[in-house]
Amino acid sequence: MNNVTRRGFLGLAGVAGAAGLSACAGTGTSATSDQGGDGTTLELWSNHPGNSKPVEQELIAAFQKANPGITVKLVDAGKNYEEVAQKFNGALVGGTLPDLVVVSDVTWFNFALNKQLTPLDELLTTAKIDTADYVDALYGDYLFDGGHFALPYSRSTPLFYYNKEIWSKAGLEDRGPKDWDEFKEWSEALKAAAGNGKFAMELPDGSNYLDWHFQNMAWGYGGGYSQEWTPTFSAEGTVKAGQYLQDLAKGGVVKFNATPEADFSAGLAGCILQSTGSLGGITKDAKFEVGTAFLPGEGNCPTGGAGLGIPANISDARKANAVKLAEFLTNAESTVTFTQATGYMPVRKSAVELQSEKDYLAKNPNAKTAIDQLPQTRSQDNVRVLLPGGGARIGKGLDQVAQGQDVATVFAGLDQESQQVFDNQIKSKL
């Protein structure tokens, strides 16, 4: 998908989005906020992550059966997380707000910072919902200023997907690389095994979440995007990772593509990095045996995906039923149903103890890879997920690196730009 479609909201945020969010914070009138009545008719705004609309409809039907006094309308709110955020932002200015909205790893924070999402802790306590069963790392990703602003829903990590036929032809063991240095050692054999016009690896370009995956490389070489709020693009390890990425591109090892999973499934690349949420589609479309592995390195896998948030400026009655819906969509049984249909990760600890999940994982070991990798994950660096426009800004810089621009110069510019955004738009609100 193009830059406007996938990352348009983030690009706008880098220029004026945070100011717009701040300006519309708390401006909804009581008439606007209470459109939707007493909470017996709820709207869920979703982009249907992982082509999940059918399973979302299935879960909503089950919720309505269990709660006969409540009707839920599933709203197509955009093609991706950023479009949902853009629609929600528009409603905050002057429109009908949803009762529940999908908020991603890079969109929830600005809404929370500007008091446009409801802290859920009191609602959860009143509804007697035990949050201890949520996977700690996933629930903790939505913690800010002493409250949690979403429940984990379509949560993912990147996975290392590989074509077992090409792997075998290259004479490699049936596993992923231990680290990126080992992958470089493998790269020439993989290029030869893939064949003319094909690549050892494909990666998404900067408009399609290369910035999410590249964190793994940066962390693996001892760098990263930031320490807390201090940008660290110019750190030695981050620059080394950027040079590594550029060398892969110069050497014809990697191709950057808006939809690498499509080429991979067609047999045009030996491996890709892609979300766990792509597992279902890749498994269905690939005409070869697909392998999955942890990302290279230990403890260097970023979390990702989205949660469910409740707008701040709606009535208490709407909030009370919205939190019931959020909990139902993310309970153990529902998360098993959702994740088996999409490839996302179960968000409840108890989910993996359900017999239906045990049976599924036994038959689908690739799905188990993401669950096994979860202890190796870490929360993402602030300047990507918490700064307005962070992901789009980093993605643009990584595109420049891939195209051959000087790594140190590009990364120094990212340091400067990130610091300016923090100083101008975030610092005074913390």
Q: 54-60 long-range CB contacts below 8 Å, 24 or more apart?
A: 54/341, 55/337, 55/338, 55/341, 55/342, 56/329, 56/338, 58/337, 59/328, 59/329, 59/334, 59/337, 59/338
Q: What is the pLDDT of residue 95?
A: 87
Of the two residues 296 and 11, the one the predictor is more confident about is 296
The rounded distance, in Å, linking the Cα atoms of 156 and 146 is 24
Q: What is the pLDDT of residue 37?
A: 65
**Whole-prediction pTM value?**
0.85
pLDDT > 70: percent of the chain: 91
Model confidence at 32, in pLDDT bands (50, 70, 90)? very low
Q: What is the pLDDT of residue 277?
A: 87
**pLDDT averaged over the chain?**
91
CB 181 within 8 A of CB 296: no
Q: Which amino acid is at 410?
A: V
Point out which residues pair with 172 in neighbouring strands: none
φ, ψ of residue 252 in degrees (nearest 5): 70, 20
CB 182 within 8 A of CB 141: no
At 219, which helix (H) or strand (E)?
Answer: helix 210-220
- Asked if the model's pLDDT at residue 5 lies above 80, the reply is no
- Asked if the model's pLDDT at residue 362 lies above 80, the reply is yes
The rounded distance, in Å, linking the Cα atoms of 188 and 235 is 29
Lowest mean pLDDT among 28-42, 107-121, 159-173: 28-42
Q: What is the pLDDT of residue 280?
A: 87
Can you state the percent helix, strand and coil of the chain, rounding each to 5? 55, 15, 30
- Asked if the model's pLDDT at residue 343 lies above 60, the reply is yes
The rounded distance, in Å, linking the Cα atoms of 249 and 403 is 8
When pLDDT is averaged across residues 328-343 and rounded to a whole number, the result is 96
When pLDDT is averaged across residues 17-38 and rounded to a whole number, the result is 40
Q: Which amino acid is at 373?
A: Q
3-state secondary structure of 212: helix
Q: What is the pLDDT of residue 28?
A: 33
Give the other-Cβ count within 10 Å of 128's Cβ. 7
3-state secondary structure of 342: helix
pLDDT > 90: percent of the chain: 85
Q: What is the pLDDT of residue 110?
A: 93
- Asked if the model's pLDDT at residue 23 lies above 50, the reply is no
Q: 13-19 long-range CB contacts below 8 Å, 24 or more apart?
A: 13/110, 13/388, 13/389, 13/392, 14/388, 14/389, 14/390, 14/392, 14/393, 14/421, 15/389, 17/89, 17/110, 17/388, 17/389, 18/110, 18/388, 18/421, 18/425, 18/426, 19/425
Model confidence at 1, in pLDDT bands (50, 70, 90)? very low
When pLDDT is averaged across residues 188-217 and rounded to a whole number, the result is 96
Structure tokens at 54: 């059918």
Cα three-residue angle 244-247-248, rounded to 5 degrees: 90
- Asked if the model's pLDDT at residue 14 lies above 60, the reply is no
pLDDT digits (tens, 9 = 90+) for 219-246: 999 999 999 999 999 999 999 999 999 9
CB 307 within 8 A of CB 153: yes
When pLDDT is averaged across residues 188-213 and rounded to a whole number, the result is 96
Of the two residues 334 and 10, the one the predictor is more confident about is 334
Q: What is the pLDDT of residue 94?
A: 86
Q: Which amino acid is at 246?
A: Q
Q: What is the pLDDT of residue 38?
A: 74
Q: Domains in the chain, please, with CATH? A: 3-155+305-353 (3.40.190.10), 158-302+380-429 (3.40.190.10)
- Asked if the model's pLDDT at residue 12 lies above 70, the reply is no
